[in-house]
Amino acid sequence: MTDDIIMEARDVTRDFGDFRAVENLNLKIKKGEVFGFLGPNGAGKTTTINMMVGLLRPTSGQIFIGGESVEKVEKGTIGICPQELVLWDFLTCKESLMLMGDMYQVPKEELKFRVQKLLDDLFLQDKANTVVTQLSGGMKRRLNLAMAVVHQPDIVVLDEPSEGLDPQSRRVLWNYIRSLRDDEGKTVILTTHLMDEADRLSDRIAIIDHGKLLRLDTPTNLKKEIGEGDVVEMKLSNPDKKQEVISILEDMPDVHSVVEIEDALNVRALDAVSKLPQIIDRVETTGVHVLDLSIRQNTLEDVFIDLTGTGLRE
């Protein structure tokens, strides 16, 4: 294993009875990167990271951390922030962090300094002496993250970190995740089904669906993969004629693809703005009107749709 690879999965499969949650997964995670697992709920993301941190044994295959088998790795190497909050209701924020640090045997003076810094960094200083039951949902999530990193692990694992967060808490969290990488050189692994979270935070993204790795690349490369160009989303006056409209549009030059998403069509085309009049004319030859229309650049959701044929939140 090369020096810059901190974690590796080799031919990893996990079955639960007859259900295969992860199938033949191979990937390498680099030291000091934010690595995102992107996929819908139930795609196998949580199962994958639980195996990668040693909480769950693969049915077959191997996981390595820093060249060692995951079972041999010191527990303090990894900090885990699970999707379900794990907090002590009747301790304050400060007490929770001190207790967690004690468990990892962080020296007392160093621990005090770390706890103070975490409370500052995650905007919890005003709540240092507030018991957990009195915190808002966003504060509990931020405290949970602080508890996962109080012992300064090399690898920080975040499972759906933004689940249920308000926009302000999400911004605090995203900035903190970036600082873990940029200022502290940590490797951050996160699972998410939020496109913008994966896109903005991750250096590289593994797109997973039905337990299989579909693609692994940088967000920019993934978005390029489905062709330069724009996406035109349109709603039609007569959804029954969708197939006829799709056939007509697919015959147009420079139209890469036409995909049906719920009650709309996504038309991917080079320089779509200049082609809009032609696109609309073509649609109307079938006797159908365009009720609503928008244009945007490719997103990771388009990549996902391109790979799977369905949207991410179905």
Instruction: Locate the domains of the chain by residue range.
Output: 5-223, 227-297
CATH no., domain 227-297: 3.30.70.920
Q: Which residues contact 5 (CB under 8 A, 6 or more apart)?
A: 28, 29, 30, 31
d(CA 184, CA 168): 23
B/e letters for 158-176, b = 16+ CB within 10 Å, e = fewer, are: bbbbbeebeeebbebbbeb
| Gap between the Cα atoms of 194 and 163, Å rounded | 9
Report which residue type is found at 164: G
Residue pair 256/229 in contact (Cβ under 8 Å)? The answer is yes
What superfamily in CATH does domain 5-223 come from?
Answer: P-loop containing nucleotide triphosphate hydrolases (3.40.50.300)
Packed helices 167-182 and 137-149: angle between N→C axes, nearest 10 degrees: 10
Residue pair 218/205 in contact by the 8 Å Cβ criterion: yes
Sequence-distant (6+) residues with CB within 8 A of 167 are none
- Check: CB of residue 58 under 8 Å from CB of residue 25: no
What pLDDT score was predicted for residue 271? Answer: 76
Torsion of CA 197, 226, 41, 135, to 10 degrees: 10
pLDDT digit string (tens) for the chain, length 314 residues:
556 999 999 999 999 999 999 999 999 999 999 999 998 888 899 999 999 999 999 999 999 999 899 989 888 899 999 888 889 999 999 999 999 999 999 999 999 999 999 999 999 999 999 999 999 989 999 999 999 999 999 999 999 988 888 888 899 999 999 999 999 999 999 998 888 899 999 999 999 999 999 999 999 888 877 766 788 899 998 888 888 999 999 888 888 888 888 778 988 887 778 888 988 999 999 898 999 999 887 788 878 887 877 666 54
The pLDDT score that the predictor gives to residue 118 is: 96
Alpha helices in the chain (DSSP H): 45-52, 93-103, 108-121, 137-149, 167-182, 195-201, 219-225, 242-250, 272-284, 300-308
pLDDT of res. 314: 44
For the chain, state the CA radius of gyration: 23
Identify the helix (H) or strand (E) that includes residue 157. Answer: strand 155-159
Buried b (16+ CB within 10 A) or exposed e, 136-152: eebbbbbbbbbbbbbbe
Instruction: Give the CB-side neighbour count of residue 222, counting CA atoms within 13 A.
Output: 26
pTM of the model: 0.82
